[in-house]
Chain A
């Protein structure tokens, strides 16, 4: 009964939250801002507890991931902001900010609990970005490559899960995740173009960062 009341309210809530998404549309020069201009909710009303739990943990970890990516770019900008790579990193950071805002919206609307470890990801992300940026532009690009590879792999597995469960039910969510995954792959390719592989100890650095990302994803899904 509770859920039915909430479902009945959801269209109204979307109208309440539409103003912010409209603001996003105006502020952002995106070729297909269709995702951001949606006037209805992204998720279908949950049909049982298991589905709600599954979607909750997916959105929680996605939100944590975007939050962490934001902080990584912030760390990189803090060190390399005034160099030639500054504008490039700023551009990628801006795209991550859009992703984070979208997830903030979804979490608020669908009453998903954010991960308890956000302060930890805050510090860890900033530290990772700053430390790799101290290795120079190649270090920052290597960090970007590793993180974006982890994130796009993670989004791919989520897309697979949703497609296996019920692609029609989750069309909007799938579209959002696909769009974000494409952005992350773009960042990954940009990193490679800008000499990520020429940092000394590239393989070691990449493995270490990706192990860290996997651990972070595992934990954030649960806590």
Chain B
């Protein structure tokens, strides 16, 4: 297993080296990438990427027909240090491409109310940072990148706040909450982060439901739900782990849907809906516990009857 990991790392390094020395032809790489891209929904990036400036010291001068594909960025969002070192453009930058992308997307969020969750918002964000709007070519997933970045940012904020609260409780400076109350507050906190973007959120939700975004959005959702339950004190190591997270996912998703069409002041209806759903889940959990207790009592009764029977028939002797 360790050898495999080392092999993978070596492979990555070799690929990086290969691109430096031009061993692997860019066209080859682009054809491969083209296959990947062909299956993804492109959000009108072709025109943009045609105008983006490729690092000159790196690629061979592309033919006219291949200009759109070979001017695609070299990496898939992972920092490639050889690229940074070789390219003339990023020579002085000590910032990785990932960090730059994060900065652009964060500044693009300001323009979401105006442009929606689109590449135009990213372009506007890039321009406020003093970059050309053609740097949207860096984002292969376009609006999807923006939405996923926002979701990741919200989740990170939530996790940080929950960790701080948890710390305070551990230090005895705050009261620990009941599970139901804790879940309610955590979900409310997370959903309140959507309020500035609530008008355009349906668009974002539909972007997250696109097939190529589903793995990432599911990953973010499951990490967030896991965080919330962990700080709520869940340390279960059996099927409860799954049922609790499934329940919270259901609560979160349905409340989110209610929120986007809620027009009451400060979303009161949404929080009422959330309260009711959490009460439902708590009721279900209590009922399940009662059913289990009844079942156990029943089994004990049956075992008692069986032992009595064995005693009566003389089968219960030590052999």
Chain A residues with CB under 8 Å of chain B are 1-2, 5-6, 8-9, 12, 16, 50, 54, 63, 82-84, 103-104, 107-109, 111, 113-114, 116, 118-119, 161, 164-165
Separation of A12 and B102 alpha carbons in the complex (Å):
32
Which of B144-167 touch A at CB < 8 Å?
Answer: 156, 159-160, 163-164, 166-167
From the candidates A84, A116, A161, name the one contacting B319 in the complex (CB within 8 A). A84
Q: Pick the interface stretch among B14-22, B44-52, B232-240.
A: B232-240
Contact A114 B5 (CB under 8 A): no
Q: Considering the complex, give the chain A residue whose CB is closest to the CB of B230.
A: A111
Nearest 9 pairs of A and B residues by beta carbon: A108-B235, A5-B163, A107-B237, A164-B2, A12-B170, A114-B237, A104-B237, A2-B159, A165-B2
Most buried by B among A5, A50, A103: A5
B-side residues, CB < 8 A to A, are 1-3, 5, 156, 159-160, 163-164, 166-167, 170, 226-227, 230, 235-239, 241-242, 316, 318-319
Would you call A83 and B318 a contact (CB within 8 A)? Answer: yes
Give the distance to chain A from B282, nearest Cβ to Cβ, in Å. 22
Q: Which residues of A contact B167 (CB under 8 A)?
A: 8-9, 12
In the complex, chain B residues whose CB is within 8 Å of the CB of A113: 241
Q: Which residue of A lies closest to B245 (CB)?
A: A113
Say whether B237 contacts A9, CB under 8 Å. Answer: no
21 contacting pairs across A/B (C-beta < 8 A): A1-B156, A1-B160, A2-B156, A2-B160, A2-B227, A5-B159, A6-B163, A12-B167, A54-B5, A82-B316, A82-B319, A83-B319, A107-B237, A108-B236, A108-B237, A114-B237, A114-B241, A116-B242, A118-B238, A164-B3, A165-B2
Tell me the complex Cα distance, A39–B2, Å: 29
Asked if A9 and B166 make an inter-chain contact with CB atoms under 8 angstroms apart, the answer reads: yes
Residues of B within 8 A of A54 (CB): 1, 5
- In the complex, the chain B residue whose C-beta lies closest to that of A104 is B237
In angstroms, Cα B156 to Cα A34, docked, is 37
B159 to chain A, nearest CB (A): 5
Interface residue from A103, A107, A118 paired with B239 (Cβ < 8 Å): A118
Shortest C-beta distance, A113 to chain B (Å), equals: 7
Cβ–Cβ contact B2 & A5, under 8 A:
no
Docked Cα-Cα span, A107 to B163, in Å, equals 19
- Residues of A close to B319: CB separation below 8 A: 82-84
Distance to closest chain B CB from A130 (angstroms): 15
B5 neighbours in A (Cβ, 8 Å):
50, 54
* Closest chain B residue to A164, Cβ basis: B2
- Residue from A50, A108, A116 with most neighbouring chain B CB atoms (10 Å): A108
What residues of chain B lie closer than 8 Å to A116, measured between beta carbons? 242
